[in-house]
Copies of this chain bind each other. A is one copy, B any other.
């Protein structure tokens, strides 16, 4: 039970809902039923599950639609042989309620959460599309990177020791500390599996040499372990926890962040790194798509521009929030210690260092996220759509080679320019990891 969020966590009486059950549940919700309009017999329902984890449906009525989502007692994509605590929907709903006053229109509106059924009803996003699929098709969206930069800046600032007194932060920490089932997936699939032999790993056979090289690379595993430890120990702010391009829905004008069931307290650079990793993945994957060269290069330039925009927007917005919210009661850097001219000057340095440390985290977590999407269980469509597995392996090897260098030579990537410049240098990587740069 979270007192502030007012959501009970109890789940006895849980059952997996059929499509008919979902319509019956929504029929009892005045706000959702009013959005749909007409009678329940006029409503249609369709399965739109896209991620690996949950059951997701769109319910449409004569006047409008809603999105319905239920946490299942197993991993949806894998089936009942991979059990998973269905209470994850409690954390998704808690995340949405916590951030609603902070991120506003950058997330869908939560209409209903049933803690017994672990059942969420939220705003239907239409005509929004999932960013990952759109990027694969070469579509561009002018606002998404700036919107994500603003989203992470606001969400992290206002849940950190800069934005709230620690009493409020610790209340949030107590709530989200319960989200261990999904965090176990993050820890295993992101930080462990790519570096060991495990049944879940699903890389193409052509990458066996790279996978073996990574399993035997002590320096690489050491860099990963240090970040893994930071991920578990640094309670800097409330994270989305899975902020890749499949967790973002877009139109030309609008951006909505969805799927907060992995939410946890951790280092801010983890969310930023996740998003950037998936833009880099798309950059490398584009090399294997059959597409006009000029068109492909234009799309790749768009991706790199988006990374710049994301970071610059995050940085400016996070610093703006810090500068314009001196009276949050946040316990991180008390205003009373930095009130005179020397203090204000010093605080500017502290802020610079704080944001620079987020950047260093971002770079490392981005590389770790690239690797997990190549070698670990949850593969991404950017690569899966490449039917020629040799070509797929080649662009995946390029991604691995870049990520490896980022992790093993962090001094080389002290600013974003160096990070972006390096991406094309790894495009022509061989399938022999020993020969790769």
A interface with B by C-beta (< 8 Å): 161, 166-167, 169-171, 173-174, 177-178, 180, 183-184, 187, 192, 195-196, 216, 218-219, 221-222, 224-226, 228-229, 232-236, 331-334, 336-338, 340, 342-343, 345-346, 349-350
Contacts and interface: CB of A to CB of B under 8 A. Distances in A.
A169 B347 CA distance: 34
Contacts of A338: 218, 221, 225
Given A166-B187, A170-B177, A346 B228 contact: no
A180 B184 contact: no
Contact of A222 (B196, B219, B346): B346
Contacts of A222: 337, 346, 349-350
B183 A337 contact: no
B178 A343 contact: no
B192 A334 contact: yes
A375 to B, nearest CB: 14
Q: Which of A228, A331, A338 has most B Cβ within 10 Å? A: A331
Given A218-B338, A228-B332, A232-B161, A177 B187 contact: no
Binding site secondary structure of chain A? helix
A235 B234 CA distance: 6
Nearest to A167: B180
Contacts of A166: 180, 183-184, 187, 232
Given A166-B180, A196-B337, A336-B196, A187 B221 contact: no
Copies of this chain present? 2
A331 B337 CA distance: 37
Q: Which of A169, A174, A195, A196 has most B Cβ within 10 Å? A: A174
A234 B232 contact: no
A233 B161 CA distance: 8
A177 B183 contact: no
Given A171-B177, A173-B177, A343 B218 contact: yes
7 contacts: A161-B232, A166-B187, A167-B184, A170-B177, A170-B180, A173-B173, A218-B342
A59 B233 CA distance: 42
A174 B178 contact: yes
A196 B337 CA distance: 7
A310 to B, nearest CB: 24
Contacts of A343: 218, 221
A223 B170 CA distance: 24
A161 B229 contact: yes
Q: Which 8 A-B pairs have the closest CB atoms?
A: A174-B177, A218-B342, A170-B177, A221-B337, A167-B180, A174-B174, A218-B346, A173-B177
Nearest to A198: B336
A216 B339 CA distance: 10
A174 B170 CA distance: 8
B332 A216 contact: no
Q: Which of A173, A177, A235 has most B Cβ within 10 Å? A: A177
B334 A225 contact: yes
A326 to B, nearest CB: 14
A225 B177 contact: no
A350 B230 CA distance: 13
Nearest to A333: B225
Given A161-B233, A232-B161, A331-B232, A337 B195 contact: yes
A350 B225 contact: yes
